[in-house]
Amino acid sequence: MPDPILDIRDLTITARRRLILDRVSLQARRGQVLGIIGPSGVGKSTLLRAINRMLELQPGYRVKGEIRFHGHDIHDADVDPDTLRQRIGMIFQQPVVFPTTIAKNVLFGAARLRRLGKSERAALLDSSLREAALWHEVKDRLHDSALRLSIGQQQRLCLARALALDPEVILMDEPTSALDPKATEAIEERILAMKATRCVVLVTHNLDQARRVTDWVACLCADNGHGELRFSSFPRDGRASAMLSETSCWASSTPSSLRLFSSVSGGRRRLGRIAILSACSAG
Amino acid sequence: MHALPHGRLTWQKRRPPDAVVFTCLAAAALFLALLGFTLILWVREAWPAIRAHGGEMLTSGEWFYRHQHFGALAMIYGSAVVSLLALLLAAPVAFATAIFISEWLPHTLRPWAKAAVEFLAAIPSVIYGLLGIMFLRTWMADWLAPFDPLSGDMLLTAAVLLAVMILPTVTTFAEDSLRAVPAAQRLAARGLALNRTQTIHRIVLPQAWPGMIGAALLGLGRGLGETIAVFLIIGRLDNRLPESLLDPAPLIEPGQTLTSKLGGPETHIAMGDPLHWGAILTLGLILLVLTTLFVSLGNLLLRKNPAHP
Amino acid sequence: MKKALQLLSALTTGSAAAGVLLLAGALAFVLITRGSAAISPAFLTQETREAGASGGILWQIAGTLILVATAALVALPFATALGITRAWLLPPQSRPARVLGFILQLLNAVPSILLGILGLILFTGMLGWGKSWLAGGVLLGIMIVPTAAVMLANRIESLPRGQLDAAAGLGLRRGHIIRSIILPQSAAALLSGMLLGLARAAGETAPILFVAAVFSGATIPTGIHEQPVLALPYHIFVLAQDSFQEASRTNLWGAALVLVTLVSLPALAAIPMRHKLHNAADHA
């Protein structure tokens, strides 16, 4: 097995003295999709934001333990967090497009990091949008406002924007939970395509999605009032698939599950949630 | 084309802040440094008077600069009486107006009422002073004729004019703190069959009152610092102190406030003489301390509003 | 009984509000009826004669515009820098950010007469400028800085968090984010803060009393040293003290109407912008 690109060891996160995550250890390798599942409020997004040091932008969070990127601790003094974030891209739950054109959105990061010639711009637009599978839908209106795209297209635009920086790792924070089934399918297909050259860390609520696209899943639970790693394993491995539908992980944190229920919104989302809830009641 | 780099990465060293960040921080620091510098300069030039007269400035009511008597008590008294009286006159009207605009007025009319309040706030103080000279002074002299004042220039006139001037300030901030109480709470109260008056008294005011006191304190701070309008109608007579604190007689006599003294010709005259100049600057410091006190207290209370995290 | 109490409560607060409204209306009415008698093209384009009894207020308007323009140039960079520093560069809710916010609030409340005396210390005392338009412009600029900086900072704090996160997630540096997201999206707030501040500055007398304004004998300044200007508020201030001269009254009210119009215009221009901001803040 190749050396892990990301090696998280004993990661402990506190927010204003409240323990959020307790000693989580995880590895992510190239060519692999690492899934992180668990009930809401368990600290999945917090974990994700610690990996590219986005967490420091929010006041009050403290991170202990190591996160090694290619064997190098990202909290070392010589690491520039902005450079780190270029190499570890991030996709959010709600697509965030900037109020400008499609082309400018794609080049938003890249154009500010280095001078781009005209042909370079075109090439980068082409390759990023193709990799995000958006090229054919927008190639004739690159200079239209990005706000006019559908929400699914906007999410792929965000993906293209991150890909324009050619990151090695892409962190995805429930990237499909705001999307309809068709748009979800497009994103899942992109995840599977991207893993050939990159490493993807995917936080998801959707157990089916975890089964479909991940190569390795880590389940976080909140049994003791804070997030802990329950297990990590191959999703299709017998033990893991049993665990994926295991109930205690979800049921043990009833308040969180209730919160799950109250935040149910979209169609696809609802299906996933109901699956979870029925799993709970079965236990 | 997206080949992953192999092996150990060479990290870029943490770069120095880029030009935009650096410029911002530098300009902000420069501004604050200049402020600090001027404050130090101010205290240094005030120092001769503070050293020579010190506490006497706060306890003596005698200000005769030709004899080097620099007692500020009469001016402090004038400032305190004028602005407290102004607040007493303005606050009830301002609070009632704020409650009406926030709780009774239909949404669609609210911007118009607020525009009128803002118009009052936008009128420069020299215009209020002009109105005071042209109208208020005469009215007050006629109205108080039974008490036989010397003229319309008196502390009471200044207080009434100042009340009009701080009215919009207090109204605006009081309305803000009423609005900060979530609309959902009002609805919930109405759902429990409380009528509008009960909702105001039991739900809205208990939460908004610290903010409304804060609004009053901000008005007080504003009133203490007001110069031009007060200057024009207060009569600017030095050394008028009452027999006792509750003696109403000085109210219908001309007087002096800290600001009317500072805005007067004496400030220019004082510049050559370190002691006199120092005394004038000390008046300024007293004024600064007083306004700072009330304004910071007021802001603290405004932010205390529970609905205003 | 309940009904009666409710009616009483509505009536008392309502009559207070009506009083305030009436007051605003009466002030506007007095200014317009008395002032409009003086207003004519000649009044706006001629210089003052006979100590205000005849002629116009051309150089007073020009002087006020010079002071306000200078104040805007002085205030804009500092207000921008302080607003961004307060809301974006310093960690949110950290002690330095709160201290800076506190300083700005206090600065906003400093009585304007103290700025006038500050001008005496700095420009007359230290730099020996005598009366100079630049001194007045700088002092008015200092006065505007906190207003505009606070409005800018509040707007930055209400910017959609997602956009800032997304930009940071792309590895953009803080300076990049300032230029590409923060400034474009909060420029309206900065502008409306500047306009409100400028409106206030245009009407201020106290800061320019000692160091910048004279009653007569100045036109367009040609240097810095001993180059005062005429200014509308100062003109009114001086004439108001001589109000027993019947001859100058009409022109005095005319000048007052022009000044109030001048300070209301930027405030009016800022209203739609502020409504937009208010709505944006509500939906964020």
Q: C42-58: per-residue pLDDT in tens?
A: 888 888 887 877 788 88
Tally of domains within chain C: 2
How confident is residue C198, by pLDDT bands cut at 50, 70 and 90?
A: very high
Q: Has residue B307 got a pLDDT over 70?
A: no
Predicted local distance difference test score (pLDDT) of residue C226: 86
> How far apart are the CA of A135 and the nearest CA of chain B, in angstroms?
17
B309 touches chain A (CB under 8 A): no
Query: How far is residue A228 CA from its own chain's centroid?
Result: 18
**Percent of chain C clearing pLDDT 90 (strictly above):** 56
Residue C11 structural domain:
1-36
- B31-46: per-residue pLDDT in tens? 999 999 999 999 999 9
Distances (CA, A) of C166 to A44, A129, C85, C170, C176: 18, 18, 20, 6, 13
Closest residue on chain C to A50 (Cα):
C169
Distances (CA, A) of C181 to C153, C155, C159: 14, 12, 9
B6 touches chain A (CB under 8 A): no
How confident is residue B9, by pLDDT bands cut at 50, 70 and 90?
A: very low
> How far apart are the CA of C240 and the nearest CA of chain B, in angstroms?
6
Query: Residue A150 carries which DSSP code?
Result: -
Q: Has residue B182 got a pLDDT over 80?
A: yes
**Higher pLDDT residue, C276 or C114?**
C114
C58 within 8 A of C46, measured Cβ to Cβ: yes
B25 touches chain C (CB under 8 A): yes
Lowest mean pLDDT among B13-17, B54-58, B67-71: B13-17
> How far apart are the CA of B240 and the nearest CA of chain A, in angstroms?
55
Within this chain, do residues C133 and C23 fall inside the same structural domain, yes or no?
no
- A185-195: per-residue pLDDT in tens? 999 999 999 98
Taking residues C203-229, what's their average pLDDT?
88
Helices in chain A by DSSP H: which ranges? 44-51, 81-87, 102-106, 110-113, 118-131, 135-138, 151-163, 181-194, 207-213, 238-244, 248-251, 254-262, 267-282
Instruction: Count the alpha carbons within 13 Å of B204 in the hemisphere toward its beta carbon.
Output: 28
**Percent of chain B clearing pLDDT 90 (strictly above):** 55
> How far apart are the CA of C21 and the nearest CA of chain B, in angstroms?
6
Taking residues A14-21, what's their average pLDDT?
88
Give one word for A72, left, alpha or beta, with left for phi > 0 and alpha for psi -120 to 50.
Answer: beta
Taking residues C131-138, what's their average pLDDT?
94
Q: How many CB atoms lie within 10 A of CB B14?
A: 14
> How far apart are the CA of B2 and the nearest CA of chain A, in angstroms?
6
How confident is residue B2, by pLDDT bands cut at 50, 70 and 90?
A: very low
CA distance B18 to B214: 41
Predicted local distance difference test score (pLDDT) of residue B188: 84
How confident is residue B59, by pLDDT bands cut at 50, 70 and 90?
A: confident
Predicted local distance difference test score (pLDDT) of residue A246: 55
Q: Mark yes or no for CB contact A98/C171 under 8 Å.
A: no
Q: Which residue of C98, C164, C170, C185 to mutate against A (max A Cβ within 10 Å)?
A: C170
**Higher pLDDT residue, A4 or C140?**
C140
Taking residues C24-28, what's their average pLDDT?
94
As a whole number, the mean pLDDT across chain C is 88
B154 within 8 A of B136, measured Cβ to Cβ: no
Q: Has residue A12 got a pLDDT over 70?
A: yes
Taking residues C23-28, what's their average pLDDT?
94
CA distance C36 to C31: 8
Predicted local distance difference test score (pLDDT) of residue A279: 37
Tally of domains within chain A: 1
- Residue A146 within any structural domain of the chain: yes
Helices (H) and strands (E) in chain A, counts: 13, 10
Within this chain, do residues C140 and C212 fall inside the same structural domain, yes or no?
yes
Predicted local distance difference test score (pLDDT) of residue A280: 36
- Residue A217 within any structural domain of the chain: yes
**Percent of chain A clearing pLDDT 70 (strictly above):** 82
Q: Has residue C274 got a pLDDT over 70?
A: no
How confident is residue B66, by pLDDT bands cut at 50, 70 and 90?
A: confident
- Residue A1 within any structural domain of the chain: no
B163 touches chain C (CB under 8 A): no
B14 touches chain A (CB under 8 A): yes
Q: How many CB atoms lie within 10 A of CB B309?
A: 6
Which chain A residues have a beta carbon less than 8 Å from that of B5? 168
Lowest mean pLDDT among B69-78, B119-128, C52-61: C52-61
- 3-state secondary structure (DSSP) of residue A20: strand
As a whole number, the mean pLDDT across chain B is 87
Lowest mean pLDDT among A118-127, A225-234, B209-218: A225-234
B122 touches chain A (CB under 8 A): no
Instruction: Give the angle C83-C85-A18 at the CA atoms, nearest 5°.
Output: 115
CA distance A171 to B71: 71
Taking residues A247-253, what's their average pLDDT?
45
Which ipTM value was assigned to this complex?
Answer: 0.90
H or E segment and range at residue A37: strand A33-37
Query: Residue A3 carries which DSSP code?
Result: P
State chain B's maximal CA–CA distance in angstroms.
Answer: 98
Lowest mean pLDDT among A264-268, C23-27, C113-117, C125-129: A264-268
- B145-174: per-residue pLDDT in tens? 888 888 889 999 999 999 999 999 999 999
Chains in contact with B, counting 3 or more C-beta pairs less than 8 Å apart as contact: A, C
Residue A259 structural domain:
6-282
Domain boundaries, chain B: 56-304
Predicted local distance difference test score (pLDDT) of residue B57: 83
- B230-269: per-residue pLDDT in tens? 999 998 888 888 877 778 878 888 999 999 999 998 998 8
Q: Mark yes or no for CB contact A96/C172 under 8 Å.
A: no
- A96-136: per-residue pLDDT in tens? 888 889 999 999 888 877 778 888 899 999 999 999 999 99
How confident is residue C279, by pLDDT bands cut at 50, 70 and 90?
A: low
Helices (H) and strands (E) in chain C, counts: 12, 2
Q: How many CB atoms lie within 10 A of CB A274?
A: 12
List the single residue in B4, B8, B15 with the smallest CB-CB distance to A80.
B15
B288 within 8 A of B302, measured Cβ to Cβ: no
Which chain A residues have a beta carbon less than 8 Å from that of C181? 98
Cβ pairs bridging A and C (under 8 Å): 62
Q: What is the CATH number of the domain that holds A199?
A: 3.40.50.300
Closest residue on chain B to C3 (Cα):
B195
Predicted local distance difference test score (pLDDT) of residue A244: 59
Taking residues B82-107, what's their average pLDDT?
94
Predicted local distance difference test score (pLDDT) of residue B219: 95
Q: Which residue of B2, B13, B20, B21 to mutate against A (max A Cβ within 10 Å)?
A: B2
B9 touches chain A (CB under 8 A): yes
Select from A41, A20, A52, A276 the least CA-distant residue to A171. Answer: A52
Select from B28, B73, B83 the least CA-distant residue to B286. Answer: B73
β-pair type (A169-173, A88-91):
parallel
How confident is residue B16, by pLDDT bands cut at 50, 70 and 90?
A: low
Within this chain, do residues C205 and C220 fall inside the same structural domain, yes or no?
yes
Homologous superfamily of B56-304 in CATH? Answer: MetI-like (1.10.3720.10)
Which chain B residues have a beta carbon less than 8 Å from that of C271? 115
